Amino acid sequence: MTLAMEKQELRDVHDKQNGSWKTIKKDQTCNEQLSPLEETLSRFGLLKNEIKVYLYLARTGDVKAGDIAEAISLHRTET
């Protein structure tokens, strides 16, 4: 599974303290750390986009579907 490697170099992150979004450069070690987790989730039967949503929610907590869809470039109804 190559989900971690498909992700972009830049990532939008929500700052809960001031309610704004920031674009940050993602560290490559993040990909290496997420790969085993992505593989495990796929063994549980989650699809590629489901894994993306799961990991995004794990990082951010409660977020509206529209915000998730925008952040991970996925259609809102699929989110």
- Each residue's pLDDT tens digit, 26-55: 665 666 777 888 999 999 999 999 999 999
Query: What single-letter amino acid sits at 5?
Result: M
User: For the residues 4-29, what does the mean pLDDT come to?
Assistant: 66
Radius of gyration of the chain (CA): 13
* C-alpha pair distances (Å), 41 with each of 4, 47, 54: 13, 8, 9
- Please state the pTM of the whole predicted model: 0.61
Query: What single-letter amino acid sits at 37?
Result: L
Are the CB atoms for 4 and 38 separated by under 8 Å?
yes
Position of tokens 């989900």? 3
Q: How many contiguous H segments (helices) and E segments (strands) does the chain have?
A: 4, 2
